[in-house]
Amino acid sequence: MRPAQSLPIRALQFDGLGQRFGDTSPWLFRGLSAKFLGGERCAIVGPSGSGKSTLLSIVAGWLDPTEGTVEQEGLERVQWVFQNPHGVARRAAIDHVALPLLAAGARIATADAEAAEICAVVGLSHLTDRRPFSMLSGGEAQRLMLARALAVKPDLLLVDEPTAQLDRQSAATVNSAIASIGAAGGIVLIATHDPDTAAACDRIIDLAEFAAVSA
């Protein structure tokens, strides 16, 4: 009998993280320490201007923190899902999910089959009818972005305000999709103002608790 194959170790840690822009500007957050392990989904919440998207940018390495450190282990593939879904209007929606698989060397038939499986995870099984991207609703397009990100098999998935521009019904479909991801062992961080999105995660960090005045 073959031994069970364990998932790779993935970890992300914040130590005393703080961010502000300029020596006299107020801190967006300060003293943030937390550790995340593979498979966790964490919602980053807080009022507008509290630094949710800024924190994701720090984690991605796009921005240096004002103070503190970010340590990563086993996070080689980092993928973003932004607020505004984007794709090739006339291209079949499911092709957007198959493309990363093809780029990784999969055969067309294999990529199409795996893309269909990933779409099923986020509630988009109906996209196997090869409808064009331009025909998708807002909720479908945002879930497709999640599916495309999952096709990359990311170690770390960063999702920025996935329901910010959706009506409540569309947002509910996206939140259901978020609740279904994470089983592959990657870490998922989601910046959100939506309490239902936060409820779909395993844990919540409220940046309002780490706000600080200028010092």
pLDDT in tens, 148-198: 998 988 899 999 988 887 888 888 888 887 877 765 678 999 999 999 899
CATH number of 11-210: 3.40.50.300
Between CA 76 and CA 87 the distance in angstroms is 25
Q: Greatest CA separation found in the chain? A: 63
What count of other Cβ atoms lies within 10 Å of the Cβ of residue 107? 10
Tens digit of each residue's pLDDT (9 = 90 or more) over 21-78: 988 889 999 999 999 998 899 999 999 889 999 999 999 999 999 999 999 998 998 9
Confidence category of residue 3, pLDDT binned at 50, 70, 90: very low
Q: Taking CA 154 as the corner, what is the angle to CA 36 and CA 121, rounded to the nearest 5 degrees?
A: 100
> Tokens at residue 196, please?
């239902």
Place of tokens 């331009």: 134
